[in-house]
Amino acid sequence: MPRANCRFDYGVAQSLELPDAAFDVVTCTFGMHHIPEADRGRALAERSRVLRPGGRGLLADMAPGACTDS
């Protein structure tokens, strides 16, 4: 039986203990707003660092308080 070609890791986004250019895809779903605003740039830099050239990054989040009723 074939094995899945994926891996899920858990870590601190702004300080990943992973090698450079190690992944084809990196995702962050509904987590960026939990990272302190001052650390978000570092988290995005780490995402770019671990992506291989030509890799894909997915970032999906919400902006609490950004929508208002009129």
Q: pLDDT higher for 39 or 68?
A: 39
Q: What is the pLDDT of residues 26-42, one digit of tens each?
A: 988 888 888 998 999 99
Q: What is the pLDDT of residues 40-59, one digit of tens each?
A: 999 999 999 999 999 999 99
Interior CA angle at 62 toward 11 and 9, to 5°? 15
Could you give phi then psi for residue 41, rounded to 5 degrees? -60, -40
The closest alpha carbon to 8, from 20, 21, 25, belongs to 25
> What whole-number percentage of the chain has pLDDT above 70?
90
Rounded distance, CA 34 to CA 49, Å? 21
Rounded distance, CA 41 to CA 14, Å? 8
pLDDT at 64 over 70: no
